[in-house]
Structure 1
Amino acid sequence: MKEFEVNEYLELLPKLSTREIQILVMTCSGFSRTEIALELNVSLNTVNSHFKNALKKYDLNTYAQLQSLFFFNFLRNLKKLR
């Protein structure tokens, strides 16, 4: 995933870093954590750390909640563009 593609999503969850957004977008696109680690050339522990940090930033308990927040903001943003 190229940098400019990730930047399009930064406004959806502004508390997250570019890498956290990148990993979240990849998981919402169907990549497994292992696939993300391989694609980004990082360890699985690094991917998990980014997820944990993202959860803390939004005071969430599960990864499903984080994905739901992302999709909610994504759809809300689409509605604004119409």
Structure 2
Amino acid sequence: MKVFFIDDFSPYLELFPELSKTQLKIFVMYGHGITPERITLELNITLNTFYSHIKYIKDKYQVDSSSELRGIFYARRDSHYMRSLKKLTRKI
């Protein structure tokens, strides 16, 4: 049974253009707190593949911990939300 209901990851491409599509899916799901085991089931990949992607993403963002990695996810996502909200409120 699917528990993660984002079928369209394209909005995240703008936030994380440096990631491949697979890396992006893993990072978004991981950033939303989905467990590695659930992500592997959702994406039909092995745990080794998952951890290889996470290591690559950590290296790319030059962080050592999962909490730092999630911090990057939240910071970019929230910054995007704030910019979008600012644009919307200017139109009112």
Which bin holds the TM-score, normalised by the shorter protein? 0.7 to 0.9
Work out whether 1:6 is the aligned partner of 2:9: yes
Residue 38 of structure 1 corresponds to 41
TM-score scaled by structure 1? Answer: 0.87
- The alignment yields a C-alpha RMSD, in angstroms, of 1.2
Letter of the 1:21 counterpart: L
Work out the percentage of aligned pairs sharing the same amino acid: 32
Measured after TM superposition, the shift of residue 28 of structure 1 is 2.2
Structure 2: which 5+ residue stretches go unaligned?
1-5, 86-92
Determine if the alignment matches structure 1 residue 73 to structure 2 residue 84.
Answer: no
Q: Could you list the per-position Cα deviations for residues 52-81 of structure 1 after superposition, in whole angstroms to 9, with x for gaps in the alignment?
A: 010111111112111101100101001111
Task: Name the TM-score, length of structure 2 as normaliser.
Answer: 0.79
Aligned length: 80
Return the index of the structure with the highest Cα Rg: 2
- 54, 57, 78: which is aligned to 1:54? 57
Query: How far has the Cα of 1:30 moved from its partner?
Result: 2.6
Runs of 4 or more off by more than 2 Å in structure 1? none
Q: Is the 8 A contact 1:7 1:18 kept in 2?
A: no
Match of 2:3 in 1: none
